Structure 1
Amino acid sequence: MSKIIYSLLIMTLCLSCSSENTEMLSQSSDLIYFPPNNSAIWETKSISDLGWNQNRLQPLLDYLELKNTKSFIILYNGRIVVEKYFGTHSSTSPWYWASAGKTLTTTISGIAEQEGTININNKVSDYLGKGWTSAPLAKENLITCKNLLTMTSGLNDALGDDVSPVNLQYVADAGSRWAYHNVYVKMQDIVSQASGQTWSNYFNTKLRDKVGMSGAWIPNDGLSVYWSNTRSMARFGLLMFAKGKWNSTQIINENYLNAATTTSQNLNQAYGYMWWINGKTSFRLPQSQLQLSGSLISNAPNDMYCALGKDDQKIYVVPSKKLVIVRMGNSADGTNFALSDFDTILWQKISALY
């Protein structure tokens, strides 16, 4: 009898250990994966492992190629599920982020604030001095750093990309009008002035190098545009998906990111701090004062937020689906500054895949 009891105890212990090991493996697979810095190593996850529809992959890739895409990546919980390069473009080829790179400025502004270097509620002239616009001084003093981040400076958005004082003219009081405007780049001057460092140096040390990105800011018509390979864009998207954390290090405050990726003002529900937000009841687009009804991308998940750049540079972050999706390339159709019909059709094909 004692031998039977002993055998039963051994079996129970083995089953218990097996159950615990299975649970630990399951928990491990649910953890967000971060690729090592300065390495080409990046773990993958197969479409079949995820239970997605393999037959829908080729139609998606065919559409991307048809629409002038250079590169495309889908991450699931940090692991690469799809990575495709078209034509002569490769994993090491640099490409411009265009206005999708505005979110890099958002992130650095948040890092500078958490370090006590700036306060986004302070007025811009606290850092740049008076006369940084041609607006009357009383109106200029209404403009805060947060107004720059939310596109509510009240300055004239119809005068082109030039952000010299003569071209920054008063239209409405700060906070009373939403208009997509390159005056946001003054946040880069603010961070540089307050930190005593060049913008590039501050960016590289506080963000780029910490998450293993490559790339550089390249001057273009008076503005700096970020260029990098596609995986660097995916690393940045992964940082956002991980709520500002990289491995065990909190790079940027989660509360700031929550504010950046939710409605930031009552003029454009689909806009945070230079992040576009899906799932709202209305939205506005660049170079227009029209308010449009419905969600930004109606067939994409409601909790998605995205970085959108000229000629269809895209970072989509979808927390509920554990997805980060990156598209780089030339314009899918005509030139556009943010959203296009391409987004809707692309999401039809992405949704069919997963």
Structure 2
Amino acid sequence: MKKLLQLIGFASLITVFYFGFTTYPKLDLISGFSSKSMASGHFIDHRSQELIENGDNDIDMIDLATNKIDENGKFATASVYGLKERKAIYRDGLGVTLINDDFDVSKPYLVPKRNKLNNNLPFPYGNNDPKDSVFANIDYAKLNAAVANAFDTKGAKKKRTRSVLVIYKDKIIAEKYDTGFTKNSKILGWSMTKSITSAVFGVLEKQGKFDIYKPAPMPEWANDQRKFITTNDLLHMNSGLEWVENYSTICDATQMLFQAEDMSRSQLEKPAAYKPNTHWYYSSGTTNLLSGILRKQFKTHQEYLDFWYTNLIDKIGMNSMLIETDMAGNYVGSSYGWATTRDWSKFGLLYLHKGNWNGEQILNENWVKYTATPTNTSNGQYGAQFWLNAGGKFPDVPKDMFYCSGYQGQMVAVFPSQDLVVVRMGLKEDPEFDFNGLLSGIIGSLKK
């Protein structure tokens, strides 16, 4: 018996040591992700704690967290076995911010001014219901089968699609939602927000207020080789700046999203690993640096907050959209944009129509072309904060497709040759979710 107890004690000690070396350093990130996700899902989209824990937070390691929601204080907390508690607060107009102990929750804050689209037009150019449309060249049985196949059968958790929306010639031809989600559900786009950030630069370019080909306005880089990095290089993710993005471990990206006070500085402070325009690699830090550059273009913080909405988001009727801020008041342009599926599709339609929205040119046509042109060294897979199919990632899909893409398989796909936009929101991404099958099935339903 004594020997058995010794063995049990030894095994327990090994477990404690294993936990200490492998898990404990990640607790800040685990509880940070969990509390942020809990607060955002609950206060932005009114999801229940159960739905969030079984959906958004049903991720390896993240499911170790114990969460609490404070309705009156509008915040959520999370900890792992009582350790490393983190807090995320909700503020009207700014969404949820993951905070540290030094953050002053009583300090007044600015909120963006919004202009809700108000006309009598049907979707997509107004907020009235879409008009029913039937096209003779669409095989609706085939279309509906392709969309239905994107969803799990009851009780399964393999495909984990939350919504699919298909728009052809500005008309909704298919729309489906998973249980618990509707056309009014706001869903986090994760890195699809990068494409929104790019579009804000496009608006400034259209207004003649910014030249992306000049060196990036970073005084901190004036005395080293980083002074040659242009905003164009940053938009193309080939600045050469050091960065590691791997969400399965502690890295630059996870430390930025779940620990940094000012996310715009995370990439700014990194040294150059390569010369600009010689190495392409993905960096959420780069996009948040771009958000910081945008902030510098305005005299006041209020102007920065307003511009994204008044000159782009609300201009095209994406009234449900909310882009969350960090502790320093920067939009987290890499990751934290929320909107309904229909409003995400409006962003795709803006690019489908070469920057024109119902007769108003929001972006120059050349900007859209620039966005969808392959970045040097990306092998045809990336443009200016948009992903591309030019390199044939999806073999059965037209190569002119370009798309916004986010963690866990968020997608707004634009098909210029088909006059088509497809949105898919969910919790599984390629290759676990068959995007090639979904998109090719939809394309195949359009008779030539």
The answer on 1:301 being equivalent to 2:398 is: yes
Aligned 8 A contact 1:110 1:252 in 2: yes
1:121-146: CA deviations, max 9, x gaps?
1112x2x4225xxxx93222011101
Amino acid at match of 2:151: L
- Which of 276, 284, 291 aligns to 1:188? It is 291
Unaligned runs of 5+ in 2: 1-120, 154-158, 245-250, 257-264
The answer on 1:234 being equivalent to 2:314 is: no
- Which of 165, 172, 175 aligns to 2:274? It is 172
The answer on 1:137 being equivalent to 2:223 is: yes
Amino acid at match of 2:383: G
- Name the residue aligned to 1:210: 315
Deviates more, 1:160-169 or 1:145-154: 160-169
1:317 offset after TM fit, Å?
0.6
Aligned 8 A contact 1:311 1:330 in 2: yes
1:315 offset after TM fit, Å?
0.8
1:94-132: CA deviations, max 9, x gaps?
1111111211111110111222322101112x2x4225x
- Name the residue aligned to 1:263: 374
* Cα 1:62/1:277, change in 2 over 3 Å: closer
1:190 offset after TM fit, Å?
1.4
User: SS at the partner of 1:63?
Assistant: coil
* Cα 1:55/1:120, change in 2 over 3 Å: closer
Structure of higher RCO (CA pairs closer than 8 Å, 6+ residues apart): 1
Deviates more, 1:252-261 or 1:107-116: 107-116
The answer on 1:49 being equivalent to 2:136 is: yes
1:345 offset after TM fit, Å?
2.4
- Which of 353, 357, 361 aligns to 1:246? It is 357
Question: In the aligned structure 2, how far is the partner of 1:76 from the partner of 1:165?
Answer: 39
1:1-42: CA deviations, max 9, x gaps?
xxxxxxxxxxxxxxxxxxxxxxxxxxxxxxxx9836552322
- Name the residue aligned to 2:178: 86
The answer on 1:353 being equivalent to 2:438 is: no
TM-score after normalising by structure 2: 0.61
1:14-93 matches, within 5 Å, as 35=123, 37=125, 39-46=127-134, 49-65=136-152, 67-93=159-185
- Name the residue aligned to 2:17: none
Question: In the aligned structure 1, how far is the partner of 2:122 from the partner of 2:282?
Answer: 33
1:32-55: CA deviations, max 9, x gaps?
x98365523223433x63332414
Aligned 8 A contact 2:188 2:338 in 1: yes
1:106-145 matches, within 5 Å, as 106-124=198-216, 126=217, 128-131=218-221, 137-145=223-231
Aligned 8 A contact 2:143 2:174 in 1: no
1:131-182: CA deviations, max 9, x gaps?
5xxxx93222011101110001111221422343685232111111111011
- Name the residue aligned to 2:236: 150
Question: In the aligned structure 1, how far is the partner of 2:378 from the partner of 2:214?
Answer: 21
Aligned 8 A contact 2:161 2:427 in 1: yes
Aligned 8 A contact 2:238 2:280 in 1: yes
Aligned 8 A contact 2:142 2:441 in 1: no
TM-score after normalising by structure 1: 0.77
1:310-353: CA deviations, max 9, x gaps?
10000111111111000112125xxx7xx765222223432343
Question: In the aligned structure 2, how far is the partner of 1:238 from the partner of 1:137?
Answer: 43
Where does structure 1 differ by over 6 angstroms across 4 or more consecutive aligned residues?
none
User: SS at the partner of 2:228?
Assistant: coil
1:195 offset after TM fit, Å?
2.6
RMSD value over aligned CA atoms?
2.5
The answer on 1:316 being equivalent to 2:384 is: no
- Name the residue aligned to 1:28: none
- Name the residue aligned to 1:10: none
User: SS at the partner of 1:164?
Assistant: helix
**Percent of aligned positions with the same letter in both sequences?**
25
1:62-119: CA deviations, max 9, x gaps?
3334511111110001110001111111111111111112111111101112223221
- Name the residue aligned to 1:329: 426
User: SS at the partner of 1:73?
Assistant: strand
